[in-house]
A and B are shown apart, each in its own frame.
Chain A
Amino acid sequence: MPRTVAPWETERKLLVKAEDRTNPKYGHKPEERPAEECMRYGVVNLDKPAGPTSHEVAAWTKRILKLQAVGHGGTLET
């Protein structure tokens, strides 16, 4: 039985339906966000150390970066 394709093995092609331009006056390319926006709409690819829980590590990140709220993408149990 062929094994299931993992999400990161899925190949996708781009289908173009119509063409248009975007006005540089509005918004930013994600890589060009100014500092505050960069943080507020950012993700940290963190290598979690052994010991603390995922929740604790996220809380520490919040404290280091002086932010009001953080989340994490999947608990790595201790």
Chain B
Amino acid sequence: MTGVLPVTLVEATKVVQALLYSGKEYMCVMKLHADASEKRVNEVLKEFEDIIYQRPPLRASVKRQLRTRRIYYLDFLEIDGRNVLFKVGCEGGTYIRKLCYDVGEVLGCGAHMQELRRTRAGPFVEDGSVTLHDVAYWFMEWEKNNDEKLLRKFVQPMENALALIPKIHIRDSAVDAICYGARLTAPGVLSLETGIAKGSIIAILTLKGEAAALGRAVVDSDEIMRLEHGVVAGVERVLMPRGTYPRCWKRGERNND
């Protein structure tokens, strides 16, 4: 299998959790075990464009319990003999191999996954991806010339991994407390995106766009806008080192809102 694989470097590994929620897209060649009409294949593929049930395979290092996964879209592209090419957008953790097997079962003739290429992992797409060769080459060039622009040929800021997560921008004075894991209160909020639901994961950013932490909203977007004080989100994963921004809170001080 080939395709988009975001590799997180050192501290950036903390954002992996956010990537798991952001969904994936694949191009897949499915091999049918008997001939089937394009019409029928199309019909069956459309049936899977919904919530599906899967149990992870033996080879996966994850608990083998039956779980639901969402297929955002399943687009039939072309059929050539018994080879079917389709594009699928799905939730992270969806086994396309099992999907092909199940499509084969519904078709009646059986099928297996012949080839798979990931075209999207969260916000990362094929356009702009680099090969291991590119990485080795540009890193070597950077070691020779010491020009940071060369590093940026293959490294992106970890904030790019959070592009699909709803964001909240906070004041400079609220940043350091967040880096200690303190809960985010209404006065610290400067701006936020729509579509934040109660309990959903959010990215807490500074005005410069740096990710301070991954958090979880305790109220929705409209409520965050409305509230004058009180907790709007808890911190799940601190991303910024303490002391990057000046401390504007006292030891022993609690949220007394």
Contacts and interface: CB of A to CB of B under 8 A. Distances in A.
Interface of A: 1, 3-10, 12-23, 26-31, 33-35, 38-50, 54, 57-58, 60-61, 64-65, 67-74, 76-78
Contacts, number: 248
A71 to B, nearest CB: 4
Contact of B126 (A8, A12, A44, A47): A47
B139 to A, nearest CB: 6
A58 B4 CA distance: 12
A35 B148 contact: yes
A2 B35 CA distance: 30
Contacts of A6: 23, 25, 72-73, 89
Main secondary structure of the interface of B (DSSP, over half): mixed
A42 B192 contact: no
Nearest to B127: A45
A18 B190 contact: yes
Nearest to A65: B139
A5 B1 contact: no
A32 B22 CA distance: 26
Contacts of B131: 46-47, 49
B172 A20 contact: yes
B224 A17 contact: yes
A68 B10 contact: yes
16 contacts: A17-B191, A20-B190, A26-B246, A27-B245, A30-B209, A31-B152, A38-B151, A40-B12, A42-B156, A50-B1, A50-B2, A58-B7, A73-B20, A73-B122, A74-B19, A76-B3
A20 B171 contact: yes
Nearest to B194: A13
B70 A38 contact: no
Contacts of A45: 4, 6, 124, 128-130, 156
Nearest to B246: A26
A2 B118 CA distance: 25
Contact of B7 (A7, A16, A34, A72): A72
Contacts of A48: 1-5, 118
